[in-house]
Amino acid sequence: MSTRDAAEAVRLRAEDHLDRGEFSLALALCDHASRLDPTYAEVHVTRARGLGVRGDLNGALQALDAADALAPPSLGSLGLRVLALRGLGRAAEALAVAEEALGYAPDHAQLRLVRGQLRAELGDRAGAEADLAPLLAPEETQLDALEAQAVRALLSGEAARAEDLLDVALGDAPDRPSLLLLRAFARWFVHDLAAARADLHEAARLSEALPTHQPLVSQLSGLMDEGAEEDEVRGVIIGALRLFSASGAGAARRRG
């Protein structure tokens, strides 16, 4: 087996662990893969994905820079860079990268969605409507807006307000896993731990067919059920909220 093949085998194991929410092990495997083949760019892209999910968006950008130094950017690495830049509040840079990525895949629905959201943030209403109108039904637009408000409220420390917004949204869409996941965050922040666990378990049941949510739901359910340290749970939640903020809360549900 060549060093590249060996590195790829380890990288694929890292991807599997990322899908299960085992971030520390996944990142350790990325380090091992890089030692096996220091010139393999895709390992750094996998590392960027893991760091992004953990909320280390600056670290994710550094990993993507390392990947780009070894090979031309891929569609996957460009998409991750868009999310990291957006999560850091660098909307204009994120939009430029989204435009570059769409040059490779003009009909990519998720990239069109994120570009539309970025255009809206930057005041380009016509451009935003052109991207978003074909992708979202009116009721989806309203629910996505409520999710986005709830994420912003949680990141601003307004957990009670976020819970109120999510209660309203769940009245219209009680089987939407992302709403339950966010309400679990809000309830954990206001110390309603039993209700937070109930929301998490229901989100886990409803998201069995949504691989985007499964790793995070499984990890948080385990931490809460096992009575993990508050700082550990808080770190996972904040990282998840940053990812929600970067990608759009409803986007993860649609990707699944």
**Which of these three, 99, 132, 165, is where a domain ends?**
132
CA pair distance 154, 189, nearest whole angstrom = 9
Q: What pLDDT does residue 208 have?
A: 63
CA pair distance 6, 247, nearest whole angstrom = 32
Q: What pLDDT does residue 143 have?
A: 76
What SS3 class is residue 22?
A: coil
Q: How many other CB atoms are found less than 10 A from the CB of residue 39?
A: 12
* Whether the Cβ atoms of residue 114 and residue 247 lie closer than 8 Å to each other: yes
The CB-based long-range contact list for 107-110 (8 Å cut-off, 24+ gap) reads 108/75, 109/135, 109/254, 110/79, 110/251, 110/254, 110/255
| 96 in the same domain as 9 | yes
Candidates 110, 30, 117, 118; CA nearest to 75 is 110
| 168 in the same domain as 114 | no
Q: Which residue type is seen at 197?
A: R
Candidates 200, 209, 208; CA nearest to 237 is 200
- What CATH number has the domain bearing residue 146? 1.25.40
Q: Which residue type is seen at 144?
A: D
Q: What pLDDT does residue 69 have?
A: 96
* Whether the Cβ atoms of residue 149 and residue 169 lie closer than 8 Å to each other: no
**Which of these three, 70, 97, 132, is where a domain ends?**
132
* Whether the Cβ atoms of residue 196 and residue 188 lie closer than 8 Å to each other: yes
Residue range(s) defining the domain that contains residue 92? 3-132
Q: What pLDDT does residue 149 have?
A: 82
| 110 in the same domain as 148 | no
Number of domain units in the chain: 2
* Whether the Cβ atoms of residue 217 and residue 112 lie closer than 8 Å to each other: no
Candidates 203, 247, 212; CA nearest to 84 is 247
CB hemisphere CA count around 176 (13 angstroms)? 25
Candidates 250, 238, 188, 230; CA nearest to 87 is 238
| 163 in the same domain as 111 | no
**Which of these three, 109, 132, 155, is where a domain ends?**
132
Q: How many other CB atoms are found less than 10 A from the CB of residue 117?
A: 23
CA pair distance 132, 141, nearest whole angstrom = 9
CA pair distance 69, 31, nearest whole angstrom = 17
* Whether the Cβ atoms of residue 109 and residue 93 lie closer than 8 Å to each other: no
| 123 in the same domain as 22 | yes
| 148 in the same domain as 92 | no
| 184 in the same domain as 125 | no
Q: What pLDDT does residue 222 have?
A: 72
- What CATH number has the domain bearing residue 109? 1.25.40.10
Locate 59 and state its tokens.
Answer: 């670290």
| 146 in the same domain as 124 | no
| 87 in the same domain as 29 | yes
| 142 in the same domain as 127 | no
Candidates 119, 183, 123, 120; CA nearest to 147 is 183
| 121 in the same domain as 47 | yes
Residue-wise pLDDT tens for the chain (256 aa)? Answer: 799 999 999 999 998 888 777 888 999 999 999 999 999 999 999 999 989 877 789 999 999 999 999 999 998 899 999 989 988 889 999 999 999 999 988 888 788 888 988 898 888 988 888 887 776 555 566 777 778 888 888 887 888 888 888 888 888 788 888 888 899 999 988 888 889 888 888 887 876 655 555 666 667 777 777 776 777 778 778 877 776 666 554 443 433 3
| 86 in the same domain as 18 | yes
